[in-house]
Structure 1
Amino acid sequence: MKNKVCRSLVKLSLSLAFLATPLMLCAQQLHFSKQQQEGTVSLNFAWQDMNDAAQQLNFSENSGAFFKPFRNFRAYNPLSAQQAVVKKTLKAWQADPIDGVSIKLTRDNGQLGIGLTATSENALQDASAHLKRLSGEAKEQYLAQRFYHIFTRHDGKQGVKPDHVKIAEQSAPLLKALKPIILETVELRNIRLVTDYTFNFIQSIPYSKLASRQTSAGAGFVPPMQLLYQNQGDCDSKVTLASALLRSLMPRIEMIMVFIDGHALMGINAPLQAGDKTISYEGITYVLGEPTGPAQYPLGKIALQSEQAIDAGLYTVEKFHVNETVDEE
């Protein structure tokens, strides 16, 4: 869901009634360019922030940081996954078989499966339970190796989606080159200044529409460094970038990613201000934020559609808390 409600300015008419007409303004990227030479990528961004001030951010990084960490990430293929999980389950069974039970691969309309034969009903039940456990472990391993996981929506429906938290965790160290650059502009000890600067930057990056998490199988999602390189991303991609960049800037801040139908936002455990939109999760209060854009929302303000979903409880939370091994240098 693209944030269509942007910061408004009031334009007064010249009539005696002084009728106010809202002039909607969105985050504006003023410039983007990239250069690549001798194994280094240089990116140059310029944008107009929510105070109408021109901002710029230029940095260089080894090209490997943009392409190597998630080079195997691609859209999830259910058929390939099912075949791989069946084979992995069969291998795990062979390493830990049950006496009196035989097992074999089956194929039905192109779908691989596993058939069981047992000497008794009890043995068959035990074998089925054992097989289910092995299959579940095999699927979790398969997904984790490809940066995916099982996602449960607010209505209980399940699907497979990119593991945004894991991707953000592994992307944060790749963004360290931005920390001293950003600190030239904002004060690190002021959580809101750092967050709003980060949000404004990401809000100004061109937006691409989010495909359904339940059916897209990760198509359209790009990891943080690739998003910066391509200068475009959907809301899931932008929230992952915002989380990774804020983790690099503020390693000890507790954060969450919040997923509603067709959209994503995030929450930060920051000091509260009047009017903040918040949610509580596992005893912690988080101030919500909209890094997607193009609307220039500061921390604590979110789109009307997001607010309605939050108030109705139609959301799912994923924690992005501190990794004990985080490097604060």
Structure 2
Amino acid sequence: MQLQRGSSQDGELHYHYSWHQQGQPVNFSFQLPEQSVHQHISSFRRYSPQLEHTLMRQALQQELGRQNIAGIQVELPPTGFPLPLKVTARHAADARVLQQQLTAHLQQARQDYLQRIYHTELTLKPNRRVIMIDHPRIVADALHDLLPVAAALQQKFPYTTTREISQFLLDWLQRIPYQELYDRNMSSAAGFLPPLQLIQQHRGDCDSKVVLMAALLRLLLPDVPLVIVYLPEHAIIGIGMQSQSSDQQLRLDGQNFVLADPTGPALQQVGEIAKHYQLYLQPGIVNYRKL
């Protein structure tokens, strides 16, 4: 795939993609405000356990200063998540109440940090607690900035089906250079790029491409159910549409989802998933999040 980029004096960034599909030339163009690209989901950051711990300790010290109860001692481990707390006071009842209050305060400080950087804490099967990027929230917050891309798609396909537009997005995204996903359990988000940054940098890992595809489908087809399906070191999208006999699909919460993988570089069709991932596509064991 060839990408031509340019900018105009009015602050618009121009993107023109061209490739061949089944021997036929394909072209796709759109413009994005340069300001939108620079400011897009600007508070997204990679998760840092060290920074999280520092912020929580600061929150704890501030709360202790506000409480100002005589005879209190609070012990924390030197590193790691500072729970459970060990609180001692002159009266055992005071210690119990204060421990509950401080624990709740620390948990809130932790949630505030995760929310600020677009992360969340989830339990993934089988019973694995992880901190990971809040993909549904990024999809929702990216919709406004992606309106020019969705408008270009709508103009290119004024009359189309869910499968046709999904296949076009696959054809486009699979050709964007792939960037490896780092270990999801490490929660580093080292390879993730929010949608406009993926477009600007012309690269992305599986999570990044799935989020961009999901956001554009949500704009173009607001009533179509969507899920992100998490596989070992991989992510794909499930689309609630009419299936074909050859489709790889998954039934979740009473809804059938046709699966698609925009990652690339393999050029796969809607409903086609690599065989080594199909083992994990079982309703009772697969991890997913609705969009």
**TM-score, normalization by structure 2:** 0.88
Deviation at 1:48, TM superposition (A): 2.8
> After superposition, what is the alpha-carbon deviation per residue over 1:113-168, rounded to whole angstroms, capped at 9, x for unaligned?
86622234344333323322222222111111111111332222122221111111
Q: Relative to 1, partners in 2 of residues 1:78 and 1:84: Cα closer, same or farther, differing over 3 Å?
A: same
**Aligned counterparts of 2:108 and 2:81: Cα–Cα separation in 1:** 20
Residue 233 of structure 2 corresponds to: 262
Residue 203 of structure 1 corresponds to: 174
Deviation at 1:181, TM superposition (A): 2.2
Q: Relative to 1, partners in 2 of residues 1:79 and 1:197: Cα closer, same or farther, differing over 3 Å?
A: same
**Aligned counterparts of 1:280 and 1:219: Cα–Cα separation in 2:** 31
Alignment of 1:33-112 (within 5 A): 33-38=4-9, 39-49=11-21, 51-91=22-62, 97=67, 102=72, 108=78
| 1:219 maps to amino acid | A
* Equivalent residue in structure 2 for 1:133, among 104, 107, 116: 104
* Equivalent residue in structure 2 for 1:222, among 193, 204, 214: 193
User: Aligned with 1:311: secondary structure?
Assistant: coil
**Aligned counterparts of 1:299 and 1:124: Cα–Cα separation in 2:** 59
Q: Does 1:250 align with 2:201?
A: no
| 1:225 maps to amino acid | L
**Aligned counterparts of 2:229 and 2:191: Cα–Cα separation in 1:** 19
Q: In the alignment, is the contact (CA less than 8 A) between 2:41 and 2:141 conserved in 1?
A: no
Question: Which fold has the larger relative contact order, with Cα–Cα distance below 8 Å and residues 6 or more apart in sequence?
Answer: 1
Q: In the alignment, is the contact (CA less than 8 A) between 2:193 and 2:208 conserved in 1?
A: yes
Deviation at 1:313, TM superposition (A): 5.1
Alignment of 1:225-236 (within 5 A): 225-236=196-207
**Aligned counterparts of 2:3 and 2:290: Cα–Cα separation in 1:** 32
Residue 317 of structure 1 corresponds to: 288
Number of equivalent positions:
289
Deviation at 1:197, TM superposition (A): 0.8
**Higher mean C-alpha deviation, range 191-200 or range 52-61:** 52-61
User: Aligned with 1:220: secondary structure?
Assistant: coil
User: Aligned with 1:280: secondary structure?
Assistant: strand
Residue 281 of structure 1 corresponds to: 252
Q: In the alignment, is the contact (CA less than 8 A) between 1:261 and 1:315 conserved in 2?
A: no
Q: In the alignment, is the contact (CA less than 8 A) between 1:101 and 1:116 conserved in 2?
A: no
User: Aligned with 1:257: secondary structure?
Assistant: strand
Q: In the alignment, is the contact (CA less than 8 A) between 2:229 and 2:286 conserved in 1?
A: yes
Q: Relative to 1, partners in 2 of residues 1:300 and 1:107: Cα closer, same or farther, differing over 3 Å?
A: closer
Deviation at 1:79, TM superposition (A): 0.6
Q: In the alignment, is the contact (CA less than 8 A) between 1:70 and 1:223 conserved in 2?
A: yes
**TM-score, normalization by structure 1:** 0.79
**Aligned counterparts of 1:270 and 1:180: Cα–Cα separation in 2:** 22
> After superposition, what is the alpha-carbon deviation per residue over 1:183-234, rounded to whole angstroms, capped at 9, x for unaligned?
3443555111111111111111111111111115111110010001111001
Q: In the alignment, is the contact (CA less than 8 A) between 2:53 and 2:80 conserved in 1?
A: no
**Aligned counterparts of 2:93 and 2:206: Cα–Cα separation in 1:** 50
Q: In the alignment, is the contact (CA less than 8 A) between 1:101 and 1:127 conserved in 2?
A: no
Q: In the alignment, is the contact (CA less than 8 A) between 1:98 and 1:127 conserved in 2?
A: no
**Higher mean C-alpha deviation, range 221-230 or range 177-186:** 177-186
After the TM superposition, list the runs of 4 or more consecutive aligned residues in structure 1 that deviate by more than 4 angstroms.
92-95, 97-101, 103-107, 109-115
Q: Relative to 1, partners in 2 of residues 1:187 and 1:309: Cα closer, same or farther, differing over 3 Å?
A: farther
Q: In the alignment, is the contact (CA less than 8 A) between 1:32 and 1:43 conserved in 2?
A: yes
Question: Gaps (5+ residues) in structure 1?
Answer: 1-28, 321-329
> After superposition, what is the alpha-carbon deviation per residue over 1:282-303, rounded to whole angstroms, capped at 9, x for unaligned?
2222111111112222222211
| 2:108 maps to amino acid | E
Residue 182 of structure 1 corresponds to: 153
The alignment yields a C-alpha RMSD, in angstroms, of: 2.7
Question: Gaps (5+ residues) in structure 2?
Answer: none
Identity in percent: 24
Q: In the alignment, is the contact (CA less than 8 A) between 1:101 and 1:124 conserved in 2?
A: no
